[in-house]
Amino acid sequence: MAVGIWVLNDQLHLLQAALASCKPSDARVLFVESLSVLNAGPHLQKQIFFWSAQRHFADELRCAGWKVDLVEAPSYAEALTGWLTSHGISELRVMEPSDRPIHKAIERIAAQLETQPDWQLRWYRNNQFLWSKAEFAEWVGTKKQLRMEFFYREGRKRFDLLMAADQPLGGEWNFDKENRKPPRGGLIGPPALWFEPDSCTEAVIEKLLELQVKYQLTGAARPFRWGVNRQQGLDVLEHFIATRLADFGPYQDAMVQGEATLWHALISPYLNLGLLQPLEVLKRLEQAGLEQQVPLASLEGVIRQILGWREFTHGLYQHFDANYQFSNALEATAPIPAFITNLGGSGMQCLDSVLAELASSGYLHHIQRLMVLGNLGLLAGWDPQAYVAWFTSQFVDAHDWVMQTNVLGMGLWADAGKLASKPYAASGKYLQRMGTYCQNCRFDPAKRSGPDACPFTALYWNFLDRHSERFRSHPRMALMIKQLDKFSSEERFAIAATAAGYEWAQSGNNK
Ligand code: SF4
């Protein structure tokens, strides 16, 4: 019986479970470059990163003695069935995908092959996350509300990270209140570690540039500066520890025009492709942070991002059923505007600045994503499913499991609070406090109505007005609704008229 292993393009690690089930001499390995993924119109940086990293990992396996085939095909189904036939493979081993759509696609393909004698598909448990689906379900138990903070505390104990016996190091689980400093007077972060593309990456760039017009691929292909193999991922981690870890905390929520990376770690793309493993990253951060005596608020802050948010959103994605993807609690129906899909042209300084950064790198840090892009989509009532699809196609670290929960749940509150205890809705005043964009903008963040009103501010109050009945008794929103109640009817009318003037936003009453 010939054995084949299909390594998916976000499973690029030698210890991935399907590879670990065989010796190199006992199986062939398949990688697929499917043109079908281009139908989503992905960002060039994302697709170059994904395909180049996959090609590099395929080479790594060849050097380790594996027989490797990298098949370029119109679809996964064509690549897989052709490969199985031409090599007479009757047992296919696959590590469980992180993303539900590819899992379903593999099941569909396998079902068509089941008529063949002796054919079998063997799944292996995904070992790229710390919590399995069963372990997460056990933690959920009978809890009515699932909150990241309590999951994170459990993770600290379970994986013995930043613990002193059974107590959190420093006496607190969370130092977030020390980590919300605004960027007064601007900030300049340390330079990030980038890489020059090698000949393999250049070949991928050329291939995708030829396909750019046909598939409407977005963003810039060059300069392409992401690492594309495990060693480069490790180098980025060490560079973060050496140059940014100590100061990561205080300004992790700050947004500075022209400073795309600040003190952010830039390791999520490598973690999410499997080039780095979460526990090795967490242990290394803990060890280096304690040795270097970096402020606990910074060390705890970055550990919470990986051990807390990353594991929690993945756990929820697996825990919720497939209908979660259709969530639309706020009945948002406005189409995604052209200034989003064109990556610029809104006239809003904050939005155009982050879209320009996204266009050049395929990356934004989490507060830019949440409080500029997510926030505007929430306030303006953009179709959640379309917005998730857009986010998933545009970021170098984006996968279905990341974006379903992060965009639907955290960004757009489309799941009615399954993930976030309240909508992350904020006016231009928040962006003025936590960012530097407003200084150069033609809008006034303090104005709620009129031609120079900040769209975030006008839409924020209009959002509260449209959903006032829903949130009137919400423990964390009631205060804002009370504030709205104090506005005169003329003022509320002026806000509604201003919001209705944005042809890209939902208006009307959702109460
Ligand atoms: Fe953004 Fe409003 Fe500030 Fe302009 S005024 S940069 S639109 S928050």
- By CB atoms closer than 10 A (0-12, 13-18, 19+), residue 117 is exposed
Residue 508 lies in a domain: no
CATH of the domain at 159: 1.25.40.80
Domain boundary among 124, 141, 167: 124
In angstroms, rounded to a whole number, what is the distance separating the alpha carbons of residues 18 and 20? Answer: 5
**Residue 8 belongs to domain with CATH number:** 3.40.50.620
* Inter-helix orientation angle 478-485/455-466, to 10°: 100
201-202-204-208 Cα dihedral, nearest 10 degrees: 140
Ligand 1 atom 8: the closest Cα is on which residue?
A: 428
Are 140 and 253 in the same domain?
yes
**478 token code pair:** 């009631």
By CB neighbour count within 10 A (0-12 exposed, 13-18 middle, 19+ buried), where does 483 fall? exposed
Q: In CATH, what number is assigned to the domain containing residue 335?
A: 1.10.579.10
385 and 455 both lie in a single domain: yes
Residue 311 and residue 260 share a domain: yes
The answer to whether residue 218 sits within a structural domain is: no
**Which among 268, 301, 319 is the end of a domain?**
319
pLDDT of the residue at 509: 55
Q: H helices within 76-170, ranges in order?
A: 76-86, 100-113, 133-140, 148-158
Which atom of ligand 1 lies at the shortest distance from residue 428's CA? 8
**Residue 145 maps to a domain:** yes
Q: What is the pLDDT of residue 274?
A: 98
509 within a domain of the structure (yes/no): no
Residue corresponding to tokens 């608020």? 297
User: How far apart (Å, rounded) are the C-alpha atoms in residues 38 and 47?
Assistant: 8
In this structure, the answer to whether residues 111 and 145 fall within a common structural domain is no
CA quadruple 275, 280, 282, 286: dihedral positive or negative? negative
What pLDDT sits at residue 277? 98
pLDDT tens across 23-62, in order?
999 999 999 999 999 999 999 999 999 999 999 999 999 9
Integer CA distances (angstroms), 363 to 248, 359, 421, 429, in order: 18, 8, 26, 25
Q: How far apart are CA 361 and CA 37, in angstroms?
A: 19
Bridge partners (DSSP) listed for residue 26: none
Indicate if 338 and 402 belong to the same structural domain: yes
Same domain flag for 174 and 313: yes
Mark whether 185 and 49 lie in a shared domain: no
Q: Are residues 182 and 88 in the same domain?
A: no
What residue owns the CA closest to ligand 1's atom 2? 454
Q: Which 3 state secondary structure label does DSSP give 95? A: strand
Is any atom of ligand 1 closer than 6 Å to the C-beta of 435? no
Nearest CA to ligand 1 atom 1: 350
Instruction: Name the closest-CA residue to atom 7, ligand 1.
Output: 348
- Boundary residue ending a domain (124, 155, 176): 124
Number of domains in the chain: 3
- Check whether the bond before 278 is cis (ω within 30° of 0): no
Mean pLDDT, the chain, integer: 95
Q: Residue ranges of the chain with pLDDT lower than 50? A: 511
pLDDT in tens, 173-194: 998 888 789 998 779 999 999 9
Closest ligand 1 atom to residue 348 Cα is: 7
Residues 457 and 492 grouped into a single domain: yes
| pLDDT given for residue 412 in this prediction | 98
Mutate to test the pocket of ligand 1, among 346, 350, 457 (most ligand atoms within 8 A of CB): 350
- The reply to whether 30 falls in a domain is yes
| pTM, two decimal places | 0.96
Torsion of the alpha carbons at 189, 195, 196 and 202, rounded to the nearest 10 = -120
Which residues pair with residue 387 across a beta bridge? none
> Is residue 185 domain-shared with residue 258, that is, in the same domain?
yes
> Is 376 within the bounds of a domain?
yes
Determine, yes or no, domain membership for 507: no
Whether 72 is in a domain gets the answer yes
Domain housing 300: 133-190+244-319
Distance 444 CA to ligand 1 centre (A): 7
Q: Is the dihedral of CA 168, 172, 178, 179 positive or negative?
A: positive
Residues 260 and 364 in one domain: no
Residues 175 and 304 in one domain: yes
Q: How far is CA 426 from CA 21, 76, 332, 403, 489, in A?
A: 49, 42, 17, 21, 22
